[in-house]
Chain A
Amino acid sequence: MSAELGTPIQGVTLYSFTRAFHAREYDLEALIRKVAADGYGPGLEVIGFSSFRGFPEIDDRFAGWFRDLVDEVGLVTTSLAVNADIGIHRDRLLTQDELIEYMRRQIVAAAKLGFPIARVQISLTPDSMEQLAPIAEEHGVTLALEVHADQYASHPRILALRDRYEQVGSPFLGFTADWGATVTGFAPSLLEAYRRRGASEELLAKVVDLWNGFYQQGPPADQAEHGQRFGAFIGLAAQNGRPDLGIDFAINGTGLFGPARVDDWLEIMPWIRHVHGKFFGIDEQGEEPSVPVRDLIALLVQNGYTGAVSSEYEGWHWNHWQSPFDIIAGEQAVQRSAAEAAGSRMITDGAEARRILDAHLAQPVRG
């Protein structure tokens, strides 16, 4: 526990609004203006390859337009989500040199657009992160590798990264904690989506039982155990006459709903530079029924976390019957309430958020 309570910065990733953007209901400018006007900020996270045409090539004029817009509406750019497209060539994976160059271009784009953090993904090894550290430092962009189900903070691959960070000692290497690693139940809104696709109550009860059993066992020890669990969902669907749902059960049951405990994050807490407030829905009581949002916010507050939490609504994949905008507002209300219950508050003012984020990223790692 930290001596000082944390004050996480409220924010959102535009990924939460994927269906609205994809449907051309809001273009990038309209979406950013809506985020500001409806109070989903001040933190703003964007996925480069989703929102910026031609990414990672960003010309000066576009970068200027984007930064002016963000300033005008009072938002604060937090994280630019970038991708390690190792398989971009059909016949081979990128070489190590090609990969580093591919990531360098995206780090440059993050700096140009005013993002102090680039979210990177697990396909980057400890060696790659070490190689990228000087590039990150040169551009003043912190690389926050996302810890996402089916991994979790104490997973061997994550601990190997953490140990390398400690060795390298660069303040520009860290993690993005994705709350999907620490889920407490199979999301009810996804069960409702399966119901609407004709899944029987009996089958859905078995899916929930299977997931609950994995939750009791804790997260998979390694990729082999992950594979066994993946297969168990496929088998369950096949045995119950719905083989068409098997892959869907498996991908979501293992890759979205990770069964680690909330305090598992303590393994990497000093290196957490950014948080994805992954969630799937809000129930009639105004609570997130399968992600322990209150416990997760309390953990961040108690450990002095002053970075941003990007609300990351993932229910859009299956929930076509409710507005994502209302659901995200509901989840952020839970976050604010939880921060107050923990004796602190979420930062919702843009200027204050900018100050606090600068300090959060400049501070040396407390190992």
Chain B
Amino acid sequence: MIPDRIIEPNTLTTDGRRAEVEVRIPWYRALPGSCIAGAVLRIDGVPAAEDSLRWTMNGRTFRFEELVDEIGEWWFPTDSAVLSGEVPVKAGDAEHRVDVDLKLYIPYIVIGENEVLHIEEHDTKTMKAVAA
């Protein structure tokens, strides 16, 4: 697993209300949207409101509940997705601590009746915020 690369360095942007950061898959193979089960975005310890979170990949933006049935769009191992949400941060020279939690289903590892393995990974990086 590759959790150390979830957050792309120096990709934090903000419009003052929403913040976004590029994220990489911590797994060796592509997964469809249906296997991207949830995320948490925190800036300086403040989490973005859950219902404000959006996931953008392959040029399309989803709410997490919309990803549940998405088997057409896949997160390829060398692509960045974008995780965004409402969390205040000021653009400028100050360093910000960014935390991302990611929950993924691994669709080929069956661990019980009607149950597949899920993994929960976390990454933390520090970076400046750039105005969107």
Contacts and interface: CB of A to CB of B under 8 A. Distances in A.
Given A47-B29, A85-B107, A123-B108, A92 B114 contact: yes
How big is chain A's contact interface, by range? 20 to 34
B94 interface: no
A21 interface: yes
A24 interface: yes
A246 B34 CA distance: 28
Contact of B77 (A22, A83, A90, A121): A22
Given A18-B2, A87-B116, A89-B69, 4 more contacts: A21-B77, A22-B24, A47-B28, A87-B107
A22 B28 contact: yes
Interface string A286-303: 000000000000000000
B110 A87 contact: yes
Contact of A89 (B2, B28, B71): B71
Interface in B64-106: 68-69, 71, 74, 76-78, 105-106
A136 B15 CA distance: 54
A105 interface: no
Nearest to A318: B1
Contacts of A333: none
A179 to B, nearest CB: 19
A266 B30 CA distance: 35
Chain A binding surface SS class: loop
B35 interface: yes
Interface string A50-71: 1001110000000000000000
B77 A88 contact: no
Nearest to A14: B28
Given A22-B5, A317-B1, A90 B105 contact: yes
Given A88-B34, A90-B68, A18 B28 contact: yes
Q: How large is the interface on B (under 10, 10 to 19, 20 to 34, 35 or more residues)?
A: 20 to 34
A297 B100 CA distance: 44
B108 A24 contact: no
A84 B108 contact: yes
Query: Most B CB atoms within 10 A — which of A21, A23, A53, A85?
Result: A85
A24 B78 contact: yes
A195 interface: no
A190 to B, nearest CB: 13
B106 to A, nearest CB: 8
B40 interface: no
A128 to B, nearest CB: 13
B108 A86 contact: yes
B57 interface: no
A74 to B, nearest CB: 26
Contacts of A86: 107-108, 110, 116
A82 B69 CA distance: 22
A92 B107 CA distance: 11
